[in-house]
A = this chain, B = another copy of it.
């Protein structure tokens, strides 16, 4: 596999082989983006300046038939957290890169003019992209299909990325062709925009460069696992992640009214069941895979009341942060918010969190979806002053408005799980090198890192530090394989992944050795952050979660500050 280095300043493209003896050989996706950022990006650089690098990498298993292994990580120094960042995404392009024999794209420097990178067999090239300037991801993908054919894979940014707004995402087109999948968190779209790279277009390779060393062994691992996984997720695939909405409400941890409370009186209007009903009645789609090899198929397409396509991939986090958190009880409005965010290239989580703070400061009316849509479609899209105000994320608006409740950690807005209720998730928010990111140690109810270990109730401190720690290690590994964590986040899964890896690459790794790699990834991320001014022993949650009780459960963040600050001592 190759690392393709694209210097946008000099307009040069260089291929670098990852041989068996390369230090990068066992690092894919997040493992590789973090390794390269650690090795090559000056920790004190301006995240939107010349010296930052944007890295897109698929996983070690991407390109194979391993279930749900078609994800790519995008990595850089984040303009939102000023620390290291990785966000991963499904869709088409990751698998297509892998089939081209490309493990990673490394973008360096800043182009004088807006550019596309086009990847075609034996012809990787930069093209002018001025004609696509400031257009949304939806229009962009249509235009690119006209030029390069319907089957291309695309990574792209919308206007928010070009305007280097700190909530900007990197879009990937989905299997149906819509730019609905996003490496959304951490403002990586702004890094891509700062480099003046509008899109990466991947024309399908004529011949796959992927080889599996021991095909029979690999098949013997993959086939039964895929079958078992598909069957066990049957119910999940019907409702997808929005299925969580009612559950989180019952647990009292559904962000409501800028995290003031954890349950929402109108939850039924925005529930997964309601969304499912709406999708079915309007001939929308559910049970869609987000990327090749996905057998879980939790994605969806939402139509309007006339049966016309509005948006794809409506997720729980989008519904919670923009629904209950803003007291918007209308799924059609939420579908439009999702559509606009995807089109403009904005992280739906960061956006909902930002609007929540503004509503809490009485700058906007609770539940006023009309104004929220206007902010997206007129202000952010056009880069007005108000657009920049709302496009730079939760922390920034908190500073601007001198707000009391600013739900962020290390500059990144909290995801849709109240840390007072979901104690281990709160620890993940506080300690992850990525800022408040639920995916970096997704301790939702019932999740265990060792299936036979007791971690206590979700809303107790009991063993929650260990749970978060172990999940963060497991996730670092899953992320590096290019795998969706819905396949299972636990050390038993690491065994299975190790076996698949050994079969694919002809290796003889033990699961313990793979765990060591996972820990190495976290260590590099933490070290980068230290040098960037984010010490590993400063892990705080917003004060108000310690001072104000959640309703209705009357819980506060109770884990001691020392325990959070000492969290990473575990890693040595």
How many whole Å from A537's CB to the nearest CB in chain B?
Answer: 15
Residue picked from A163, A164, A389, A400, most chain B C-beta under 10 Å: A400
Q: Does A297 contact B (CB under 8 A)?
A: no
B400 touches A400 (CB 8 A): yes
B396 touches A399 (CB 8 A): yes
Q: Does A385 contact B (CB under 8 A)?
A: yes
A401 touches B386 (CB 8 A): no
A363 touches B389 (CB 8 A): no
Docked CA distance A163–B363 (Å): 12
Taking CB atoms and an 8 Å cut-off, the chain A residues in 378-406 that contact chain B are 384-386, 388-389, 392, 396, 399-402
Residues on the B chain within 8 Å of A392, using CB: 399-400
Q: Which residue of B lies closest to A79 (CB)?
A: B402
Docked CA distance A358–B402 (Å): 21
Choose one: B48, B385, B402; the contact of A389 (CB below 8 Å): B385
Q: Which residue of B lies closest to A190 (CB)?
A: B402
A385 touches B399 (CB 8 A): no
Choose one: B163, B385, B396; the contact of A386 (CB below 8 Å): B385
Residue picked from A165, A364, A402, most chain B C-beta under 10 Å: A402
Docked CA distance A392–B402 (Å): 10
In the complex, which range does the number of interface residues on chain A fall in? Answer: 10 to 19
Docked CA distance A48–B386 (Å): 24
Docked CA distance A190–B165 (Å): 27
A386 touching B386 in the complex, CB below 8 Å, given contacts A164-B402, A396-B400, A402-B48: yes
B363 touches A385 (CB 8 A): yes
Residues on the B chain within 8 Å of A384, using CB: 363
How many whole Å from A30's CB to the nearest CB in chain B?
Answer: 26
Taking CB atoms and an 8 Å cut-off, the chain A residues in 160-192 that contact chain B are 163-165, 190
Residues on the B chain within 8 Å of A190, using CB: 402
Docked CA distance A247–B396 (Å): 40
User: 1/0 contact trace for A146-171 toward B, CB 8 Å?
Assistant: 00000000000000000111000000
Docked CA distance A388–B392 (Å): 14
Q: Which residue of B lies closest to A375 (CB)?
A: B385
Choose one: B48, B163, B385; the contact of A358 (CB below 8 Å): B385
Residues on the B chain within 8 Å of A358, using CB: 385
How many whole Å from A105's CB to the nearest CB in chain B?
Answer: 24
Residues on the B chain within 8 Å of A163, using CB: 402
Docked CA distance A470–B400 (Å): 37
How many whole Å from A336's CB to the nearest CB in chain B?
Answer: 21
Residues on the B chain within 8 Å of A396, using CB: 399-400
Residues on the B chain within 8 Å of A388, using CB: 363, 389, 400-402
Residues on the B chain within 8 Å of A402, using CB: 48, 163-165, 190, 388
Taking CB atoms and an 8 Å cut-off, the chain A residues in 352-388 that contact chain B are 358, 363-364, 384-386, 388
Docked CA distance A358–B529 (Å): 31
How many whole Å from A565's CB to the nearest CB in chain B?
Answer: 15
Residues on the B chain within 8 Å of A399, using CB: 392, 396
Q: Which residue of B lies closest to A362 (CB)?
A: B383
Residues on the B chain within 8 Å of A363, using CB: 384-385, 388
Q: Which residue of B lies closest to A533 (CB)?
A: B533
Docked CA distance A190–B401 (Å): 12
Residues on the B chain within 8 Å of A48, using CB: 402
Docked CA distance A304–B129 (Å): 53
Q: Which residue of B lies closest to A390 (CB)?
A: B385
Residues on the B chain within 8 Å of A165, using CB: 402
How many whole Å from A198's CB to the nearest CB in chain B?
Answer: 17
Residues on the B chain within 8 Å of A400, using CB: 385, 388-389, 392, 396, 400
Q: Which residue of B lies closest to A363 (CB)?
A: B385
How many whole Å from A19's CB to the nearest CB in chain B?
Answer: 40
Taking CB atoms and an 8 Å cut-off, the chain A residues in 396-446 that contact chain B are 396, 399-402
Docked CA distance A165–B361 (Å): 13
Q: Which residue of B lies closest to A400 (CB)?
A: B388
Residue picked from A165, A385, A386, A401, most chain B C-beta under 10 Å: A385
How many whole Å from A130's CB to the nearest CB in chain B?
Answer: 18
How many whole Å from A387's CB to the nearest CB in chain B?
Answer: 9
How many whole Å from A372's CB to the nearest CB in chain B?
Answer: 13
How many whole Å from A162's CB to the nearest CB in chain B?
Answer: 11
How many whole Å from A310's CB to the nearest CB in chain B?
Answer: 28
5 new A-B pairs (CB below 8 Å) besides A386-B389, A400-B400?
A358-B385, A363-B384, A385-B401, A389-B389, A389-B400
Q: Could you list which residues of chain A lie within 8 angstroms of chain B, going by C-beta atoms?
A: 48, 163-165, 190, 358, 363-364, 384-386, 388-389, 392, 396, 399-402
Q: What are 26 A-to-B residue pairs whose CB atoms are below 8 Å? A: A48-B402, A163-B402, A164-B402, A165-B402, A190-B402, A358-B385, A363-B384, A363-B385, A363-B388, A364-B385, A385-B386, A385-B389, A385-B400, A385-B401, A386-B386, A386-B389, A388-B389, A388-B400, A388-B401, A388-B402, A389-B389, A389-B400, A392-B399, A392-B400, A396-B399, A400-B400
The 8 closest A-B pairs by CB, nearest first: A363-B385, A164-B402, A388-B400, A389-B389, A388-B401, A385-B389, A392-B400, A48-B402
